[in-house]
């Protein structure tokens, strides 16, 4: 991977860019202090970028992986015009192992593989590039639709709490949870967004606040442990979050700390809205107990900004996600519609169209 200066404004709506036959990613690890793009040339570069959180957020991971398949096809076809499909098996595997929880990754890889398997003789790159571009643009359109649907649930003017980053940086553009925030704010329905810092990667303070400040949307940071106290002060009607995987019964996997937030919201009479495209819904899993939860290195908890903050000899448990039971969720918003009081029957009805 190489650092490149692109002739575009580094912003959340251009976090994933295909240009000059290359994939460029805005390196989210450096935000908000530095705005740099990495140039990716191959599927293994793409897998490393996903794993190392250059890009993160379930929809954005899926889009990035789709472009990674295009890079894989280019290399494999150059090596063997007749055997490129067989060579790509290794690249599919690399991409699939990059992050285990975000189901959008596997959804995008399966979609790209179906296209590749259906191609006749000839160079597959351009056809696969069109499919990756379609996945990208469909996600942006879905976010706009979800923004309208979610904003429609908010009555009057209120303040909201969000956790992690489910904005344009985590998607193809506009955002899921922050897409609702953007649309609702434009309609005069949101006075303030309270963003949890979201340890240990601080996506709330580094990414969500960066996005909202650029859009001129009022945002105030909270430490993760301050959300319940802020709810107790009043004026908060909604918690609005994204998701990395939703089970068939409506259980929701999202960034670690979401479950805590939902429990506090339930106690204080605050409604929880989960905003995610249907590519995040995994109807093959009966409940959240079956969702694989990624565990990352203890050093991410024991350090902050490269500085050791944990006592020597102390271990850390570092799950990246937790599962919020469906009964704590007021509504799941997808591009196909809103599921209130999510359960197996309501989720199945929505997924059936």
Q: What is the pLDDT of residue 14?
A: 85
Contacts of 226 (CB under 8 A, 6+ apart): none
Residue entry with tokens 């908010």: 154
The percentage of the chain sitting over the pLDDT mark of 70, rounded to a whole number, equals 97
pLDDT band at residue 231 using 50, 70 and 90 as cut-offs? very high
- Give residue-wise pLDDT tens across range 169-196: 999 999 999 999 999 999 999 999 999 9
What percentage of residues in the chain have a pLDDT greater than 90? Answer: 93
User: Using an 8 Å Cβ cutoff, are 281 and 242 in contact?
Assistant: no
E-assigned strands of the chain?
2-4, 16-19, 22-26, 37-40, 158-162, 190-196, 219-222, 236-241, 245-247, 252-255, 271-275, 281-282, 303-304, 307-308, 321-324, 331-334, 337-340
Residue 10, pLDDT above cutoff 90 = no
Which of 27, 91, 244, 282 is flagged as catalytic?
Answer: 244
- Mean pLDDT, range 18-29, rounded to an integer: 95
- The domains of the chain, with CATH numbers, are 2-139 (1.20.120.420), 148-351 (3.40.50.10470)
244 is catalytic: yes
pLDDT of 247 higher than 70: yes
Report whether pLDDT(7) > 70.
no
pTM score, whole prediction? 0.93
Q: What is the pLDDT of residues 129-163, one digit of tens each?
A: 999 999 999 999 999 999 999 999 999 999 999 99
Per-residue pLDDT of 53-110, as tens digits, reads 999 999 999 999 999 999 999 999 999 999 999 999 999 999 999 998 889 999 999 9
| Residue 6, pLDDT above cutoff 80 | no
Whether 121 has a pLDDT exceeding 90, the answer reads no
pLDDT, mean over the chain: 95
């Amino acid at each position: 991977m190489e650092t490149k200066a692109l002739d575009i404004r580094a912003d959340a709506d251009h976090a994933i860019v295909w240009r000059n036959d290359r994939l460029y990613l805005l390196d989210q690890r450096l935000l908000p202090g530095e705005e740099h793009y990495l140039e990716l040339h191959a599927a293994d570069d793409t897998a490393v970028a996903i794993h190392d959180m250059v890009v993160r957020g379930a929809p954005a991971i899926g889009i990035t992986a789709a472009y990674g398949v295009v890079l894989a096809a280019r290399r494999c076809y150059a090596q063997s015009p007749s055997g490129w499909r067989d060579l790509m098996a290794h690249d599919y595997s690399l991409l699939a192992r990059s992050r285990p929880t975000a189901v959008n990754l596997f959804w995008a890889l399966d979609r790209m593989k179906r296209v590749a398997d259906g191609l006749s003789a000839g160079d597959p790159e351009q056809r696969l590039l069109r499919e990756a571009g379609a996945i990208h643009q469909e996600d942006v359109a879905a976010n706009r639709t979800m923004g309208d649907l979610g904003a429609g649930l908010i009555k009057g003017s209120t303040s909201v709490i969000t956790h992690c980053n489910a904005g344009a940086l985590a998607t193809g553009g506009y955002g899921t949870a922050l897409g609702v925030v953007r649309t609702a704010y434009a309609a005069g329905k949101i006075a303030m967004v309270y963003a949890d810092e979201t340890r240990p990667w601080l996506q709330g303070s580094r990414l969500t606040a960066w996005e909202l400040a650029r859009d001129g949307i009022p945002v105030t940071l909270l430490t993760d442990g301050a959300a319940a106290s802020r709810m107790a002060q009043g004026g908060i009607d909604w918690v609005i979050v994204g998701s990395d995987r939703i089970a068939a019964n409506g259980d929701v996997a999202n960034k670690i700390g979401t479950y805590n937030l939902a429990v506090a919201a339930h106690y204080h009479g605050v409604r929880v809205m989960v905003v995610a495209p249907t590519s995040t819904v995994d109807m093959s899993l009966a409940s959240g107990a079956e969702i694989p939860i990624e565990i990352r290195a203890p050093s991410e908890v024991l350090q902050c900004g490269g500085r050791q903050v944990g006592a020597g000899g102390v271990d850390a448990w570092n799950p990246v996600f937790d599962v919020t039971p469906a009964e704590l969720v007021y509504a799941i918003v997808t591009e196909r519609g809103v599921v209130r009081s999510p359960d197996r029957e309501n989720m199945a009805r929505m997924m059936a169209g």
